[in-house]
Structure 1
Amino acid sequence: MINNKKIPTGILGFPTAPLNENGNIDEKALAINIDFLINEGLSSIFIACGSGEFHAISRAEYQKMVEVAVETTACRVPIYTGVGGNITDAVELVKLSEDLGADGYLILPPYLIDGEQEGLYNYYKTIVQSSHLNAILYNRDNAIVNLDTLQRLINEFPQIVGLKDGHGDMELNLEFTNTIGDRLEWLNGMPFAEITMPAYAKIGYSSYSSAMSNYMPHISRMFYDALLEGNDELVNEIYVDVLLPINRIRKAKKGYAVSLIKAGMEIQGFPVANTVRPPCVPVEEGHYEELKKIISSTLEKYPVTKTETSKL
């Protein structure tokens, strides 16, 4: 039996971890970030995940970020937290997320070790069986489950409701979607997911995490709607005019997948400084100015309208 409770679909919101002048989490800025994403029609909030610098926040900061998300969201959309790394910590974060009122969680890769499939199965099993919250597996880096392992897990645990792919093995993804079908929600979690979404959408991945939505959500919506409607001309225009130029900057430095979001938000007037925690680095001045020009030209060609938010 599939667990249909608050499964995230469409465009998924991944807020950042805004820092104040003292280097601490800026709770007010985080609430603004979350409220903006919801008001712009994103289907769900994924708090303290990759964009939220899961790797660099303390347990107390993690708890505060989830608390802010629960309070700000106010049941308008489902909330998913990031868990992972050390298996003991992951289980504790699942329990904390449940206590704080989250709807589910995304399991980030374990630390460092490349495990065999049996090891990955036991890693996920230990985490998932600790709670009845919805769980989403994340195929990337050192945690790539194959078809047999995924089928074994979903047959045992109905609370596993989705798989997010950040690995990019399309042969494996086709095996998943053609064999498992709609038992899971398929989420494109590649860095700057809009870049690969035209390919993913054709094989059944109808949802994706959008970093760009933190500062230009109308472009994410426009692109997504054009994909679903088969408007290839508009898809190609946005791809060439907006997505590829931003992606070239993103690939210029390791860690820009996180820091470029904050730079875009700062350019757009959000109270988020271009500041990240190590090992990420802030966007350097030249790249910052490039992004500024891209955003300006994008808004000129594709202005924000006051039309009704599309259904994501």
Structure 2
Amino acid sequence: MSQQSIAFADGPLYFPVTAFGADGEVDLDRTTALIESSLEHGPGGVFPACGTGEFHALAPAEAIAVARATVQTVSGAVPVLPGVGGPVGGAVAAVRELEASGVDGVLLLPPYLVGATQEGLYRYVSAVAAASALPVIIYHRGTAAYSADTVARLLAEHENVVGFKDGIGDVARVHEIVLRASEVRPGVQFFNGLLTAEASQSAYHAAGVPLYSSAAFAMAPHVATAFYRAYRAADTASVERLLRGFYHPLVHLRDTTPGYAVSLIKAGLRLQGAEVGGVRAPLVDPSPEHLAELERILAAGHDLVGIA
């Protein structure tokens, strides 16, 4: 069996927001302008129209348009992996359409609404993986909770299933999956996909998961990059300083309101002058009190990394 992997650069994995105009429609120009400006901070890869990009609220054509515009903007600098998922028919149609767009792979989000058996999850991933040659990263979250045996079966049967991203937070189960996957195929890529993943990455690294999603990079790239460099250098003092001064306060604010993992990122961009619009329903934008707290957290983070 041939082996595939995504050639990420050495930087945080960037999950950009999707900008909306005053009319509530997707604003591709503003979306890609933000992505272009973020490239100077050295992301390891770009994941457009995923969780932070409000995949759940985008029409299929909107998600495809965001992915294509991102490919054109990034222009091969780093890998681009958009989100697909939801109804299996939509996910299959999306990967077929994206295959010709120049993306480097896809992040397969959970199926829509229904729970599933392990056999059902196997069939869901298999249908998407068989629909194109694009590398597929499985997202272990919500209605898609995979067992180690199911992951091993998918890796054995689909060479383009190349990665596994955890969004559940059961580190023991993830470690089991890492060990089981290594028995099937070397080189599988594992990602920490918990909300504000920097806060849990030390534990994930110990479980054999070296990569992580960074929604914070979309809002505070200087802080996210400083954290990544400290993490990579095993600079524990700097990691802990950033956790105490920026990430833990952000997590506490995030946990006050469902959906704030996305809403705060867009709000933080607006506080810094970016015209990205608000979030689409059913998410809500932060209250004035929470905006004031977010502004304090951003200021503290920038102070920690020497940004005025």
- Tell me the TM-score normalized by structure 2: 0.94
Q: Secondary structure at the match of 2:290?
A: helix
Note if 1:235 corresponds to 2:239.
yes
Q: Which moved more, 1:9-18 or 1:128-137?
A: 9-18
Which of 271, 276, 280 is the matching residue for 1:272? 276
Displacement, 1:52? Answer: 1.0
Change over 3 Å in CA distance of 1:119–1:49 after alignment to 2? same
Note if 1:55 corresponds to 2:56.
yes
User: Which aligned pairs between 1:163-242 and structure 2 lie closer than 5 A?
Assistant: 163-181=164-182, 182-242=186-246
Q: Check the 8 A contact 2:114/2:143 in 1, yes or no.
A: yes
Other-structure match for 2:67: 66
In 2: Cα distance, 1:102 partner to 1:223 partner: 27
Displacement, 1:145? Answer: 0.9
Change over 3 Å in CA distance of 1:7–1:154 after alignment to 2? farther
Other-structure match for 1:23: 24
Change over 3 Å in CA distance of 1:179–1:262 after alignment to 2? same
Opposite residue 112 of structure 1, the aligned amino acid is L
Q: Secondary structure at the match of 1:72?
A: helix
User: Which aligned pairs between 1:248-263 and structure 2 lie closer than 5 A?
Assistant: 248-263=252-267
Opposite residue 297 of structure 2, the aligned amino acid is I
Note if 1:291 corresponds to 2:294.
yes
In 2: Cα distance, 1:240 partner to 1:19 partner: 33
Q: Secondary structure at the match of 1:80?
A: coil
Q: Secondary structure at the match of 2:3?
A: coil
Q: Which runs of 5+ in 2 are unaligned?
A: none
In 2: Cα distance, 1:298 partner to 1:110 partner: 36
Q: Check the 8 A contact 1:9/1:185 in 2, yes or no.
A: no
Opposite residue 291 of structure 1, the aligned amino acid is L
Other-structure match for 1:76: 77
Q: Check the 8 A contact 1:15/1:51 in 2, yes or no.
A: yes
Displacement, 1:8? Answer: 7.2
Moved over 3 A (4+): 4-10
Q: Check the 8 A contact 1:193/1:209 in 2, yes or no.
A: yes
Corresponding residue pairs, total:
304
Displacement, 1:7? Answer: 5.4
Q: Check the 8 A contact 2:149/2:180 in 1, yes or no.
A: no
User: Which aligned pairs between 1:99-178 and structure 2 lie closer than 5 A?
Assistant: 99-178=100-179
Change over 3 Å in CA distance of 1:194–1:147 after alignment to 2? same
Q: Which runs of 5+ in 1 are unaligned?
A: 306-312
Q: Check the 8 A contact 2:15/2:215 in 1, yes or no.
A: yes
Opposite residue 168 of structure 2, the aligned amino acid is H
Q: Check the 8 A contact 1:193/1:208 in 2, yes or no.
A: yes
Q: Check the 8 A contact 2:219/2:265 in 1, yes or no.
A: yes
Opposite residue 215 of structure 1, the aligned amino acid is M
Change over 3 Å in CA distance of 1:301–1:22 after alignment to 2? same
Q: Check the 8 A contact 2:11/2:225 in 1, yes or no.
A: no
In 2: Cα distance, 1:269 partner to 1:38 partner: 18
In 1: Cα distance, 2:47 partner to 2:304 partner: 30
Give the fraction of aligned pairs with identical amino acids, expressed as a percent.
35
Q: Check the 8 A contact 1:10/1:208 in 2, yes or no.
A: no
C-alpha distance after superposition, 1:106-128 (max 9, x if no partner): 11000121111111101110110
Q: Secondary structure at the match of 1:167?
A: coil
C-alpha distance after superposition, 1:85-122 (max 9, x if no partner): 10000100111111222111011000121111111101
Displacement, 1:250? Answer: 0.7
Q: Check the 8 A contact 1:9/1:206 in 2, yes or no.
A: no
In 2: Cα distance, 1:19 partner to 1:78 partner: 24
In 2: Cα distance, 1:76 partner to 1:183 partner: 22
